Structure 1
Amino acid sequence: MRALDIMTTPPVSVHPSTSVRDAIALLSERGYAGLPVVDDDGRVVGIFTEADALNYGMDASGELRVDAMMSTPVEVANAETHVTELARRMLADGLRCMPVVTDGVLVGVISRHDLLRPLVRSDDTIATHVRALLDDYSGKRDGWHVTVSGGAVTISGAFADEAERAVAAALARTVLGVTTVETNFATSGVTS
């Protein structure tokens, strides 16, 4: 699963010339942890976070622009970045949100909330998506049984060989909300 699969889009952002008060209003009204600050070409030049807003509130001296209070440099992710890498970077750096860019232009925002959402996806929904992928792969030959419990997927049935078993497991891992995948040969009892 990649950033583009779970990011919030379209992203809400502010311009460097936006007033700090307007940015704080956006943060509080929408419940965001941070707002990407983008230039006229849509490129991320900073981020205005709750911490920046609190610093402004403690030192409110006149009407400041966002570019005077924003955090720089800002860490961004590519739309193709895998969610495990996003989670690792966000935890390691204490980030609550991260702008997502394609060719340097803002296309979305990832928050910790976005990373949590796949963890609570319905098992029935996950099973339906896994079955659809397996049906597409196998030409609907109906040889596998899929069960899901707490995001843990088990695929049972007759696989042509080890390679087919590995492909079925890899396909299941691409489904949003899957935590682990186990495959069982119906006849040989091999488990992975």
Structure 2
Amino acid sequence: MKAEDVMTPMPIYVDENDTLQDAIALMLHHRISGLPVLGETGHVVGMLTEGDLLRRTETHTERKRPRWLEFLVGPGRLANEYVHSHGRRVKEVMSTRVISATPDMPLDEVVRLMEKHHIKRVPVLRNDKLVGIISRANLVHALGAVINEIPATTVSDTSIREQLLTTLDRTAWASKGLIDVIVRNGVVHINGIVLNAEEINALTVAAENTPGVKEVRNDVAWCDPMSGLVIENEPPSLRASNDLQSMI
């Protein structure tokens, strides 16, 4: 998938000279947490987000420091913070660093940008002009649209086993050689021992994502490598019952 496949086209935006009051009203009306900011030439010059509005004098949340620390911070940074917390125009409050994508950018690259820069939305530009925006909500909607698109297929038990074992062999977490997989009529039975309790759930997920699997029965036990203690993998219903008994 590409950016253009999931982006919101023709997104709502504000002008850099708009008042902060108008921008906030726009965000509240459309229930969005961030807006691209366009300059006089129509190019994206910044982003205005909820995070930019946290430190404001109106809500008495502007940053406060002891005098000695202000001396160390320096007048330049203090002046910038003052403008940010007291400014009345979008351009005075917005974040000027813009991380953008192109319509043909692969979706995994867009997500990588969001993770790397700790941002929640990415404007999509074509020839430096705003054509869309991708937010985390867009990604969730895309997932909801495709998560059930895996076609139902008739796969032999042998093929299911081979595919699952190949998948596990390519991972860095599976305790290779300590687990066994048996498939009967599309039902995957996983047995053996793992050295990390988190592997148990990961094994189930790997099996569930193998084409042709109808059900997964995970009977893997966890062995604590420090103590050598082996803990059986209880069925969820039994585990919940035991937890309830321990609370009584």
* TM-score in same-fold range (> 0.5): yes
Query: What is the alpha-carbon distance in structure 1 between the residues aligned to residue 131 and residue 210 of structure 2?
Result: 31
Flag the 1:122–1:80 CA change in 2: closer, same or farther, 3 A.
closer
Residue pairs, 1:101-140, within 5 angstroms: 101-121=125-145, 126=149
Q: By how many angstroms is 1:44 displaced?
A: 0.5
The higher relative CO (CA closer than 8 Å, separation ≥ 6) is in 1
Tell me the secondary structure at the aligned position of residue 77 of structure 1: coil
Alignment partner, residue 159 of structure 2: none
Which TM-score applies when normalising by structure 1? 0.61
Query: What is the alpha-carbon distance in structure 2 between the residues aligned to residue 155 and residue 110 of structure 1?
Result: 37
Moved over 3 A (4+): 56-61, 180-183
Alignment partner, residue 38 of structure 2: 38
Residue pairs, 1:28-177, within 5 angstroms: 28-56=28-56, 57=58, 58-59=61-62, 61=86, 64-121=88-145, 126=149, 146-147=151-152
Query: What is the alpha-carbon distance in structure 1 between the residues aligned to residue 89 and residue 95 of structure 2?
Result: 13
Query: What is the alpha-carbon distance in structure 2 between the residues aligned to residue 34 and residue 122 of structure 1?
Result: 26
Tell me the secondary structure at the aligned position of residue 14 of structure 2: coil
Show structure 2 runs of 5+ residues with no match. Answer: 63-84, 156-208, 213-248
Alignment partner, residue 9 of structure 1: 9
Q: By how many angstroms is 1:115 displaced?
A: 1.0
Report how many residues are paired. 134
User: What amino acid maps onto 1:37 in structure 2?
Assistant: V
Tell me the secondary structure at the aligned position of residue 80 of structure 1: coil
The share of aligned pairs that are identical, in percent, is 34
Which TM-score applies when normalising by structure 2? 0.48
User: What amino acid maps onto 1:9 in structure 2?
Assistant: P
Deviations 1:118-176 (A, max 9, x none): 2112667x36xxxxxxxxxxxxxxxxxx42xxxxxx597xxxxxxxxxxxxxxxxxxxx
Deviations 1:90-125 (A, max 9, x none): 12211111111000000001001101112112667x
User: What amino acid maps onto 1:39 in structure 2?
Assistant: G
1:13–1:37 Cα contact (<8 Å) kept: yes
Tell me the C-alpha RMSD between the 2 structures.
Answer: 2.5
Query: What is the alpha-carbon distance in structure 2 between the residues aligned to residue 122 and residue 89 of structure 1?
Result: 22
User: What amino acid maps onto 2:9 in structure 1?
Assistant: T
Tell me the secondary structure at the aligned position of residue 13 of structure 2: coil
Query: What is the alpha-carbon distance in structure 1 between the residues aligned to residue 141 and residue 41 of structure 2?
Result: 31
Alignment partner, residue 27 of structure 2: 27
Query: What is the alpha-carbon distance in structure 2 between the residues aligned to residue 113 and residue 47 of structure 1?
Result: 17
1:4–1:79 Cα contact (<8 Å) kept: yes
Deviations 1:67-103 (A, max 9, x none): 0011012111111111111111112211111111000
